Amino acid sequence: MSRFLKILLVTIIIGSTVKKVHAQQKDSSVFGTVLDHKKQPITDISIVIKDTNKGAYSSKNGTFTINKISPGTYTLIVSGIGFKEIRKEILVASGQNLSLVLTLEEDLTTMDEVLIKGKSVTSKVEEKSFTINSIETENFKNNTTDVNQILNQTSGIRVRESGGLGASYEFS
């Protein structure tokens, strides 16, 4: 029976030591604000802790928060479109809430011209490989001309009217 008590006592001591070690290592957090060179907040900037899956994006007012960080030394990578990337070494202590103010410089050399080209439906139809006539309706917008008169002016289409003005018509 004394052997059983010794094993139980050793188990209790080891268990309480593990709990104390675990209790001493509290998760930490890193929070702060991202600003430009004019001290204005920047939105949608990526803040990542290198070699971890932890990170955040800056909000509309430039703030960010990264929670549940284990104690240690890390490299913080801060980047965004139109700004130079910065890397900052940080030391996070157990249970610490580390506050940072990160200032980014503009990087105008990485921005290239963006050219957007578009075509109207009429332009796309005119480029097809079969013979087609397109009628630009903008010219007839405020005109009292009938549709059959407009079509009759187009090559390849003949309008036959039976009767007078307002009578029925056929296309051929």
pLDDT digits (tens, 9 = 90+) for 50-83: 999 899 999 999 999 999 999 999 999 999 988 9
Report whether 105 contacts 42 (CB < 8 A): no
In a domain, 38, yes or no: yes
Domain match, 51 and 105 both: yes
Strand partners, 66: 30
Gyration radius of the chain's alpha carbons: 37
Domain match, 98 and 136 both: no
Domain match, 142 and 102 both: no
How far CA 132 is from CA of 56, 119, 128, 139, in Å, comes to 55, 17, 8, 19
Residues 84 and 171: their CA atoms lie apart, in Å, by 65
| SS3 state of residue 132 | coil
In a domain, 150, yes or no: yes
pLDDT above 70 as % of the chain: 67
Report the CATH number at residue 62. 2.60.40.1120
Domain around 90: 29-110
In a domain, 58, yes or no: yes
pLDDT at 139: 72
Domain match, 148 and 81 both: no
pLDDT at 9: 60
pLDDT tens-place string over residues 95-137: 889 999 999 999 877 556 778 888 887 777 777 666 666 777 7
Q: Is the model's pLDDT at 1 over the cut of 90?
A: no
Claim: this prediction has a pTM higher than 0.75: no
Count of structural domains within the chain? 2
In a domain, 120, yes or no: no
